[in-house]
Structure 1
Amino acid sequence: MYSIGKIAKEMNITVRTLRYYDEINLLKPSYISESGYRYYSKKDIITLQRIIA
């Protein structure tokens, strides 16, 4: 699992963009911790690559 910050940095997009994608149901994180941290899987990263391509 990858944190929202790590994904944002590696994909050169903002954390806000990832939160927006979650908000509009375009890309949901695989896991959200009890404290609200979003985590993404490799499958989510592949989906994100398709979205931003």
Structure 2
Amino acid sequence: MSGKTLTLIAILAFVIFVVGTFVWFIGKWNASEDEALTGAVPAKTEERQA
């Protein structure tokens, strides 16, 4: 095989790996078991004068 063909095969293999990993991640994701990453914004307790 030529270098061009090997390069295209390597790129295709990488893309398949990335897409497969993404699909696996989404398939295994269970949002009900994860804690929320966002929380309530704390209220202002005082005004600061500049």
* TM-score using structure 2 length: 0.25
Q: Going by fraction, where is strand more abundant, 1 or 2?
A: 1
Max radius of gyration: which structure?
Answer: 2
Greater RCO (CA < 8 Å, at least 6 residues apart):
1
